[in-house]
Structure 1
Amino acid sequence: MSQDPTNNIKSFSILTLGCSKNVVDSEFLIARLKGNELNYVQDISEADALIINTCGFIKPAKEENIQLIQEASELRRRNKLKSLIVFGCLAERYAAQLRTQLPFVDHIFGLNSNDEILKALVQNPKLELLGERELLTPRHYAYLKIADGCNHTCSFCAIPLIKGSYISKPKEILVKEAESLVTKGVKEIVMIAQDTTYYGIDLTGERMLADLLSSLSDIKGLEWIRLMYAFPKGFPDDVLKVMAERDNICKYVDIPFQHVSTNILKSMKRETTRQQIESMLEKIRKAVPEVAIRSTFIVGYPGETENDFKELSNFIKDAQLDRVGVFTYSAEEGTPAFPLGDAIPEDVKEHRRNTLMELQQSISMKKNRNKIGTSLKVLIDEKVSLDMYIGRTQHDAPDIDNAVYVHSQNPIEPGTFVNVKIDKAEEYDLYGRVV
């Protein structure tokens, strides 16, 4: 099907699937469509057009995406929608297959396709509307995507196939974007990219993340800056210096290690070793004593033996990381690891994942208990009952980390910072009252 943009489309809804980088892409698109006088509605039943921003990273995500697109296609088939548009990573990677399988999708676009989407929905669109965002997050925090693409060749990862080479966004544009977000009430900026620590190499030949952090830290009214998606190899030491010196840079870093077995790391093409990872942890903790370190790991990678897994388990025990996520391996066609097959049974993968998460749960419980009796600065995210709120400390990223349940007899607006005395701890949650 194809849609004539003159067909009286006045409203649209957007369904964003996948990672926080997709959230940012959708926010820019919403602002441009609204700038072309289309009405943005969250309820799909009220929309003339539905736009689905897809994820094509791993098999479970692709399956979920296809199911949701099929459900939307049924709405289009029954004329409950005037236009259905699919774009993003899945569409970039599998455009031909999607066109064959989904005849009731009007348009399938890949990445960086905002202009095409505008032309599909608006007659004579104003294409020059750039730089504005309509936040999909709560108004007090926002993601800042500092780059796109990736130059690493990790054997399990399809991102370079989908997004291409690393492209940094110029610092001047990022600073203006952050300043604009702060004027709209944003208190916390979460820096994201496929690899934030690679920032600037394509622009200047040198890593420029520390310089960018310093410039963002100078923005008046920006209270928290959080660093996500660092890469172990080449982690710039000057980032730690800036983090230690600047009060509004969260003492927090997310570094996906993925594994620690030398054999697995080599096959994964992670460009690092367990010894280097352990040295990095020591360096980070020495430079920023208050730091919380988050990491993710993959279990069930082809060739992962019981000894490899035991080594990873022992590392989790010894490293005492603050936040951990564990994923089971998904074989992705086109990646260097795909020819290795996927021989480890799913139940073994799940058992290994659960084992690591149980280990980390006990570590998290111990760390949280140590916070009982202390007072912490907490950013309130939402109100959950008459006198109960949910917030986060500087050591917790939105959606993926721990939460703090805050009791207060006085009303608190989301986006407010409060001091909370902790009086109870669970594995992943803290409880306290405003002091």
Structure 2
Amino acid sequence: MATKFPDAPKIGMVSLGCPKNLVDSERILTKLRSDGYQMSPDYAGADVVLVNTCGFLDSAKEESLEAIGEAIAENGRVIVTGCMGDEAELIRAKFPQVLAVTGAHQYEQVVNAVHDASPPVPNAFVDLVPEGGLKLTPRHYSYLKISEGCNHRCSFCIIPSIRGDLVSRRIDAVLREAEKLVHAGTKELLVISQDTSAYGVDTLHESRSWKGRDVRAHMTDMARELGQLRTAEGRAPWVRLHYVYPYPHVDHVIPLMADGLLTPYLDIPFQHAAPTILKAMKRPANEAKVLDRIHKWRAICPDITIRSTFVVGFPGETEADFQYLLDWLDEAQLDRVGAFRFEPVEGAAANLLDGALPEEVKEERYQRIMEKTAAISAAKLAAKVGRVLPVIVDEVGEPDEEDGSIGATARSQADAPEIDGNVFLRDVGEGRKAGDMFDVMIEDADEHDLYGVPV
């Protein structure tokens, strides 16, 4: 007679916010899967729903509260975790039905809360976790979190009060995870943290043995070692650096990009350029020196892509300050730019600053910066028409009903998933799949995307 295994409880997950939150969600789900839980793709089939919240901006908090409310309405058994976990009283006042509230990256507490709400069913035959853990991203790219927290005290940000000061992971643990991810099929590693440039500062850049040699917990050492990884096909995975503050030692990773060991891409959170606003923001940056260094980086690695994000409408921002930012962008010619209107977030020091701007002024400046950066982007992408570029495929379409041609959505090395543009391909042929990497001829461009065909 066949053995009847008991049904494992099922967990649903709603993950909001930044890639760092996504990594937290993956770690939570991996631990729960190792405890015998199954994953539910919808509310109806879940015994418990986890909502991993974002609390960076008030608008993000509203989205998180809406997600909690929807989960309660659709399922009723909800555990809240993530950045809004520090506001348990607010959450419980609005949603007294929630089973538990835990804070950001409190993996043990949230797993224990799930155990209490829906105890696991031990089963040695089915308590298995795939190599590399469970992933919420497609198989071909993975986020690699190297640290938690941040030592900066930017006046508009409450992340340190939520996630604490910088705590770096051991370098051998980071490299071991990266190696496992690549062996499990990852073709692109996205290195993330609150401040990637500061990696290892808290541990005095301690060294660990890796592959028979000592490696420091330092961004440049880590980048050099990640550049040695190889996929099953023997090619170097793309290694993309995010949240890189422009400290002097960043200069040392540019030659690694020129040599093909790192993806020629830097995500640098400049936030502004006007000296008075940078000072009010308590930002660790010098806009003039940064411009010189950007020019030097491009001399070393002409194909480098620099992306950044800017805040418009910060308290006290004058028209002259904003024009300074626009002029700086003309000089910097950044490849990818995002912007957001300043929002007063509860607990942020910037709320106490004089000179709060009307919403209509914020909106007008937001539209102007987006118009400026779209024009820069359009010109940069137009210059790529006629070039052959490597891409990675994210999605392959269905054959066209009339001629059978197959299109695909891909990205170049200048495009991080979810936040940058795409390369839309025609006539990719049969047999292509997500994660495939090959060269394409760029045929056309618009403000944000490229269009091409495999060569």
Query: Would you say same fold, with TM above 0.5?
Result: yes
Question: Who is 2:414 aligned against?
Answer: 395
Specify every segment of 5 or more residues in structure 2 that has no aligned partner in the other structure, as ranges: 1-6, 123-128, 207-216, 400-405
Separation (CA, whole Å) in 2 of partners of 1:236 and 1:362: 28
Where in structure 2 are the equivalents of 1:68-87 lying within 5 Å?
68-75=67-74, 80-81=75-76, 83-87=77-81
Q: CA RMSD in A?
A: 2.1
The aligned amino acid for 2:83 is C
- Which one of 363, 367, 372 corresponds to residue 359 of structure 1? 372
1:304/1:235 CA distance change after superposition, 3 Å: farther
Q: Any idea what the Cα deviations from partners look like across 1:119-177, whole Å, max 9, x if unmatched?
A: 23334799xx9995211111000000011100011111111111110011111111111
The aligned amino acid for 1:158 is I
Once the two structures are TM-superposed, the CA of residue 259 in structure 1 deviates from its matched residue by 0.7
Where in structure 2 are the equivalents of 1:150-189 lying within 5 Å?
150-189=150-189
1:405/1:131 CA distance change after superposition, 3 Å: closer
SS of the aligned residue for 1:154 comes to: coil
1:179/1:149 CA distance change after superposition, 3 Å: same
Q: Which moved more, 1:254-263 or 1:381-390?
A: 381-390
The aligned amino acid for 1:427 is E
Q: Which moved more, 1:116-125 or 1:165-174?
A: 116-125
Question: Who is 2:84 aligned against?
Answer: 90
Where in structure 2 are the equivalents of 1:28-427 lying within 5 Å?
28-75=27-74, 80-81=75-76, 83-92=77-86, 94-122=87-115, 123=119, 132-205=132-205, 208-221=218-231, 222-245=236-259, 247-340=260-353, 343-386=356-399, 387-407=406-426, 408-427=428-447
SS of the aligned residue for 2:185 comes to: coil
Q: Any idea what the Cα deviations from partners look like across 1:188-228, whole Å, max 9, x if unmatched?
A: 00000011010111122587101011111112214210011
Specify every segment of 5 or more residues in structure 1 that has no aligned partner in the other structure, as ranges: 1-7
Does 2:36 match 1:23? no
Separation (CA, whole Å) in 1 of partners of 2:130 and 2:348: 34
Q: Any idea what the Cα deviations from partners look like across 1:304-325, whole Å, max 9, x if unmatched?
A: 0011111111112222111101
Q: Any idea what the Cα deviations from partners look like across 1:357-411, whole Å, max 9, x if unmatched?
A: 1111111111111111111111011013421101011111111111001112333
Question: Who is 2:126 aligned against?
Answer: none
Q: Which moved more, 1:198-207 or 1:34-43?
A: 198-207
SS of the aligned residue for 2:151 comes to: coil
TM-score by length of 1: 0.92
The aligned amino acid for 1:136 is L
Q: Any idea what the Cα deviations from partners look like across 1:7-40, whole Å, max 9, x if unmatched?
A: x971011100000001111111111111111110
TM-score by length of 2: 0.88
Separation (CA, whole Å) in 1 of partners of 2:180 and 2:121: 24
Identity of aligned residues (%): 39
SS of the aligned residue for 2:44 comes to: helix
Q: Which moved more, 1:252-261 or 1:341-350?
A: 341-350
Q: Which moved more, 1:115-124 or 1:272-281?
A: 115-124
Which consecutive aligned stretches of 4+ in structure 1 deviate over 4 angstroms post-superposition?
129-132
Q: Which moved more, 1:291-300 or 1:36-45?
A: 36-45
